[in-house]
Structures are given as C-alpha cells and as structure tokens.
Amino acid sequence: MTAQALPADAARRGLAPQPGLVVVKLGGSVVRSRELSAWLDVIAASPRPIIVVPGGGALADEVRSAQTKLGFGDEAAHRMALLAMDQLAWAIAGLRAGFEVGDTEEALRQTLGQGHVAVWAPYSLVAGRSDIPQSWTVTSDSLALWLGRRLGAERCYVIKSIERKRAAFSAEQLARDGVVDEAFPSMFKEAGFPVFLLGRGDQAALAASLSAPGEASCGATID
C-alpha cells in the first residue's frame, strides 16, 4: 500500500508523506505492564519510521474518577485526558534513547527525518478542534487512526493488555466490547490503511511484521 495522500492544508505546508510510516498505539495499561520494555525494544529496533501514540493510562482513569466526583463537563475531561496522554508520552520517551516527543505534525516529521522514534503528545494538535468530539467517545485509540490518516501512515498497530485469541475482529465488535472507544469504527472506515490488534506476548509478531516488506499481516486483523 502506498502512503495516503495528506489533507490539502497539510500539503500546502509541504508535509510530504513519510514512506513506510507506521503508527503504534501503545495502550495505557501496556505502559503499566511488565511487557512495556519488550514492546519498546521491538519499536526501537524497527527499520520503519514509527510514531508511538500513548494511551492515558492511570492518569486518564483519574480524570474519569475526578469527573464523577466533581461534576465538570466532558470538554474539560477531554482536555485533561489529552494532557494525560502528553504526560505518558514524556514518560515513554524518557525510557529509551532516540525516542523524542512531538506535539505537532512538523515536530513529528522532524523527529522521523532524524531517524528517531516519534512519541506523540496530542494536546497542542487536538484540544479544541471542532472536527473531533470533545468527549469520552474519542480516546487515544481513535486519535491514533486520526493522526495516521493526517500523516499518510501505511498501517497502524493497536497494542492492548489483552489475551488475543482470534486472528480477526470487526471494529464494531471491539467497540461494543469496550476494547476500543466508541468512535473507533467510524475513524477506522475513514483511515484507509490496515489496522492490526496485538495483545500480551505478541512482540515477536510485531517485530516480524515491522521487518517484512510490503503489507505483512500481524496479530489480529481489524475489519
């Protein structure tokens, strides 16, 4: 698959697609798991340009809890959850040399151009956008697809702390089961690139897929 065309506004800014670009959504629960180091080792060793999209993890969970207790609205909660993702981006980048945080498209592309792994801190690019619901219907899962589409990614890997027992899932079923957020199926239809779900112990599958030319499948295909 060739890189997707960028939106007109990105093209006008001269942001050419990055050949072979992949997005890796690293779930917040994965960041807290014993497997985090193994996942980061695979990402660091990849020959492909990679943007890591972190989940909000326990910090986003705390936002949900605080919203229930204090009663602030979804827009405030959405912004706070984005800031939680920003904080985990800095945490992830601090664990490996060559991982650098980027908060804009230009910053992410500059990091990739230097041969480094880019870790997305989404607040600057996402907060207050009219085309993204300011609610819990959109979390880091959908934002990974949104970013990939904007930057012309060739594929996306969604990594969760789950026991993956199937080779294929529908986006709608994953949303119904609470594995991904409510907006994920519609974002998936708009993405235009393959998306794969990986679970615990799938590091070797990710490594093989990242090293293979073309469109090698990996983990569970989402359709």
d(CA 150, CA 60): 24
Mean of all residue pLDDT scores within the chain: 89
pLDDT at 222 over 50: yes
Q: Which amino acid is at 89?
A: A
β-strand partners of 101: 119
As to burial, measured by CB atoms within 10 angstroms (0-12 exposed, 13-18 middle, 19+ buried), residue 201 is exposed
Structural tokens at position 189: 């239809």
Q: How confident is the model at residue 133 (pLDDT cuts 50, 70, 90)?
A: very high
Over residues 132-149, the mean pLDDT reads 96
Q: Which of 39-43, 64-68, 219-223 has the lowest mean pLDDT?
A: 219-223
d(CA 192, CA 194): 7
Residue 18's pLDDT is what?
72
Can you tell me whether residue 85 is helix, strand or coil? helix
Over residues 105-120, the mean pLDDT reads 96
Q: How confident is the model at residue 214 (pLDDT cuts 50, 70, 90)?
A: low
